[in-house]
Amino acid sequence: MSERYVLISTDSHAGPPAEQYRDYIESRYRPAFDEAQTEAEAMRQLAETDDTRRFLDEWDKEIGEHGGMRGAWDPVVRDKEMDHDGVAAEVVFPDADSAGVGGVAKTPFTAGLGSTGDDDPELTLAGAWAHNRWLVDFCANSPERRAGVALVPMHDVSAAVRLIEWSAEHDLRGGIMIPTKWGRLPSYNDPVYDPVWAAAAATGLPLHTHSGVGPDPDDYGYTPGLIAIYTTEAYWWAARPLWALILGGVFERHPSLKYVIAENGAWWTPDIISRMDSKWEGDHATRKFGPAAFRSGLTMRPSEYFDRNCWMAASVMGDVEVERRHLIGVGNLLWGSDYPHPEGTWPHTRTWLAERFRDVPQEDVRRILGLTAAGVYGFDLDSLAPHVARIGPTVTDIHGT
Amino acid sequence: MSERYVLISTDSHAGPPAEQYRDYIESRYRPAFDEAQTEAEAMRQLAETDDTRRFLDEWDKEIGEHGGMRGAWDPVVRDKEMDHDGVAAEVVFPDADSAGVGGVAKTPFTAGLGSTGDDDPELTLAGAWAHNRWLVDFCANSPERRAGVALVPMHDVSAAVRLIEWSAEHDLRGGIMIPTKWGRLPSYNDPVYDPVWAAAAATGLPLHTHSGVGPDPDDYGYTPGLIAIYTTEAYWWAARPLWALILGGVFERHPSLKYVIAENGAWWTPDIISRMDSKWEGDHATRKFGPAAFRSGLTMRPSEYFDRNCWMAASVMGDVEVERRHLIGVGNLLWGSDYPHPEGTWPHTRTWLAERFRDVPQEDVRRILGLTAAGVYGFDLDSLAPHVARIGPTVTDIHGT
């Protein structure tokens, strides 16, 4: 047993085809759902290029013998693919298709990765409920291996609190995901959200934001380099809630709140956090604002809140995250496969792990690949042990002989 | 002579009291100017806190024997202070007061550091012309030591081109500064601006953006931690034009265009640029978009455009910029005193230089402190030689014996 790693993916995605989602939508929203699906499919086709079609053909071939995208909603296929990749357990986000594969629906009414505070409040909430109900059923298979993340729109604080309590009652141990962009809603440093943070802290459910949204359409229009620009600055949009929460004193007021940023790397945190610290300490560049501007409501350094309350689910992390793990915090860094996205490690996770972690001390690898996640999400290691014994990557697999 | 460093500050600020600016404003805009000044003064008083008043009292004492803020508009006092600090020449931006000192006016109609594409087109242009005319007169004293940066609003491309040509005719060798935030105007990767880039390239005037603007007021409202949040994410707002220009193919179409980001550090460029390169090369994470999304209009790697076309006037750079100078590019890094801002090195530049550069090889220090800037801005080293001989920091001053 000690020879195998407990591999927990803190970033995976699941969602069914539209006809399955439809059953989970409240009946009065079904016409709007059908219309949105038709529109989404038309948009998908419009966005296709020769390049993307070529990529999808290759991808289809690559995953053909792995059930294709079926594992996105079929727990039996999914478990088989987790076994194939050596993954004992997973934290499940929405929106299984990130490439326009077809067949897998987006979360109803963009309540998933693309959600922002600017979306329609009523429809977004309806979409979130539909996904969350589907997710409870989906996680009921192999519950010891799956921690589902409930979607929590933020338009209505009371509705958000109800959703959190419902998620806790239905054992969605993955926690909750709020929109990365608050849009026209109050920013996340606004005390108006304190009941949401309090509910997450009280239930022990980790709070998440996940990368995905980028600049507003008005910011760049349809101009040259748009996708390259989007992928460059998407890091920043997904990082923004971090300083809103830390500097807004949210972790001061809710010391047990756990916050996880998913799929946004972690290479950027040491530089940003050390700058926050420097201002808190009263550096030359910001002395003109006076100490209250940086210390009000914060009894600790920003880095101390980060260490205590924040984790980076850096997914398919790069060499840079591994190299900077001590600056980021070895205990704040979580691995994820991003299954079944083509930007993830599936179906080659075992090879990928060996490439990335071969020369990293085992103690660090154990924490990054699974032990820290087990603590954050409350996975029961005893229940996972039989899976690990059966399919977990061995020390030799990763570090060689 | 070889024993002294040519010290060129690529980030300094100048601007007169309101009554002097008034003379440079077209008469039809003077009532609006007077009204804006009254409002600005009222806002300044409203924003004051015990902390900021305490800081200003200390700052007033500190600069008392150095002419106070008078060097912001009085070239005789200014030259004396440049001598005091060992600065041979300077690149002059607007908005000499960044702390609410009083007495020095902001650039008329926020045409200066706070300018965005959302500002009133007519008034902003009037403010820019007023400042630019004032700046020509100001730089006429000690012209060999001063390169003024003209303000160029971007609402009207033809007006911008006229301003650039006028700036070249009036020897504002500092180049031009465009608003850091394009706001509701097209983003800077939009080919609509090609005549502006072409005019800057043809005249040889370096293009600038300067840090200062932050999130939109709606983004955070007046919520806890606002100033700390602003100072954390201001880096990013000031970095945004970099990828718009590089990834929009602006340096491909205008290979001789020089672009300088002022007062925004440079610690962040290696990480960002290496990620752009990785996508251009077709990495795993972005393969689903296909190569055209990253290579269209770019025959070189993003890092190659950066090396050739971009400079970071990192002003009062930190140890981190000095440590990362080879990653940033020693030849892409420029020093600045930020005179007369309290976040700058004045009136302690000589001490500060010794602290920051003591252990750095002289060859690198020479480039960062002045030689690269001389090339970018076309300072005449022969004309500067007598000043350097008189007041330049010596090798012993900086590196000890």
B197 CB within 8 Å of a chain A CB: no
Tens-digit pLDDT profile for residues A75-131: 999 999 999 999 999 999 999 998 888 778 899 998 999 999 999 999 999 999 999
B47 CB within 8 Å of a chain A CB: no
pLDDT of residue B169: 98
Beta-bridge mates of residue B148: B92
Tens-digit pLDDT profile for residues A271-319: 999 999 999 999 998 889 988 899 999 999 999 999 999 999 999 999 9
**Residue B41 pLDDT grade (very low, low, confident, very high; cuts 50, 70, 90):** confident
DSSP string computed for B331-380: GGEE----TT-TTS-TT-HHHHHHHHHTTS-HHHHHIIIIIHHHHHHT--
**Residue with token string 């892409």:** B332
According to the 3-state scheme, what is the secondary structure of B76-101?
HHHHHHHHHHCCCEEEEECCCCCCCC
CA distance readout (Å), B393 to A146, A222, A257, B171: 65, 50, 53, 28
pLDDT of residue B2: 54
Specify the DSSP element, H or E, that contains A89: strand A89-93
**What gap in Å lies between CA A309 and CA A295, rounded to an integer?**
18
Give the closest of A59, A221, A236 to B190, CB-based.
Answer: A221
**What gap in Å lies between CA A146 and CA A349, rounded to an integer?**
18
A47 CB within 8 Å of a chain B CB: no
Q: What is the CATH code for B8-399? A: 3.20.20.140
Domain boundaries, chain B: 8-399
Q: Which residue of A has its CA nearest to B223?
A: A190
Cβ neighbour number for residue B371 with a 10 Å cutoff: 18
Asked if A20 and A73 touch (Cβ cutoff 8 Å), the reply is yes
Beta-bridge mates of residue B364: none
User: What mean pLDDT comes out for the span B259-282?
Assistant: 97
CB contact under 8 A, B224 and A184: no
Q: Which residue of B has its CA nearest to A215?
A: B240
Burial of A353 (C-beta count, 10 Å sphere; 0-12/13-18/19+): buried
B352 CB within 8 Å of a chain A CB: no
B306-345 CB burial, b ≥16 within 10 A, e <16: beebbbbbbbbbbebbbebbeebbbbbbbbbbbbbbbbbb
Nearest-neighbour CA in chain A from B22: distance (Å) = 28
B184 CB within 8 Å of a chain A CB: yes
DSSP B394: B
DSSP A106: P
**What gap in Å lies between CA B312 and CA B372, rounded to an integer?**
11
Tens-digit pLDDT profile for residues B193-251: 999 999 999 999 999 999 999 998 889 988 889 999 999 999 999 999 999 999 999 99
pLDDT of residue B171: 96
**What gap in Å lies between CA B228 and CA B294, rounded to an integer?**
35
Question: Rg of chain B over CA atoms, in angstroms?
Answer: 21
To 10 degrees, the CA torsion angle through B177, B181, B183, B187? 80
Judged against a pLDDT cut of 90, whether residue B147 lies above it is answered with yes
Tens-digit pLDDT profile for residues A190-226: 999 999 999 999 999 999 999 999 998 889 988 899 9
Burial of A32 (C-beta count, 10 Å sphere; 0-12/13-18/19+): middle
Q: Which is it for the CA torsion A380, A384, A389, A394, positive or negative?
A: negative
ipTM for the whole complex: 0.95
Residues in CB range of A295: below 8 A, 6 or more apart: A280
**Residue A2 pLDDT grade (very low, low, confident, very high; cuts 50, 70, 90):** low
